[in-house]
Amino acid sequence: MISQLTVFLANEKGRLAAACRTLADADINMKALFIADTADFGIVRIFCDTPARAVEVLGQAGFRASLTPVIAVSVEDAPGTLADLLGFCQGASMNIEYGYCFCTADGKAVDVLKIEGDGAEAVLAEAGFAVLAPEEVYCVDPA
């Protein structure tokens, strides 16, 4: 499982900038960032290096941040790869809470899924999907 950094932000000017500045000042590099917004708050989901340290740094700066386990699957950057993955999940009765995708420089893409319950990762790996390990996505926190 990949540790995704989740940050709760009030819908107020400058809060996202402040969160990013806090990570920047701690020299933490981000790979991807997605925002889920509601009328009065936003949930920011981030892939970054040393996610546990990022939670600590944000917490000290007064942000509410936590780690969320998600599944990351490496696919070809080509038409249909996401559809194939989601088709499999549907067939396996997996309930997807949310997901997002991003391309990487090597002609590949990463599909990130938050799937309800445990065990989905093993099922995907067994079916031949290239489930990514944390160290393949970001610099892991020192043990």
Q: Which residues here bind another protein, judged by CB under 8 A?
A: 4, 6, 8-10, 15, 36, 38, 40-41, 43, 45, 62-64, 66, 68, 97, 114
- The CB density around residue 62, as the number of other CB atoms within 10 Å, is 8
Rounded Cα distance, 2 and 71, in Å: 6
8 A C-beta contact, residue 113 and residue 99: yes
Among candidate residues 78, 92, 91, 89, the one with its CA nearest the CA of residue 112: 89
| Cβ closest to another protein, residue 53 vs residue 81 | 53
| In the complex, least distance from residue 143 CB atom to another protein, rounded to whole angstroms | 22
| Cβ closest to another protein, residue 70 vs residue 81 | 70
| In the complex, least distance from residue 106 CB atom to another protein, rounded to whole angstroms | 29
Sequence letter at residue 91: G
| In the complex, least distance from residue 60 CB atom to another protein, rounded to whole angstroms | 11
| Cβ closest to another protein, residue 34 vs residue 88 | 34
Contacts of 93 (CB under 8 A, 6+ apart): none
| In the complex, least distance from residue 111 CB atom to another protein, rounded to whole angstroms | 18
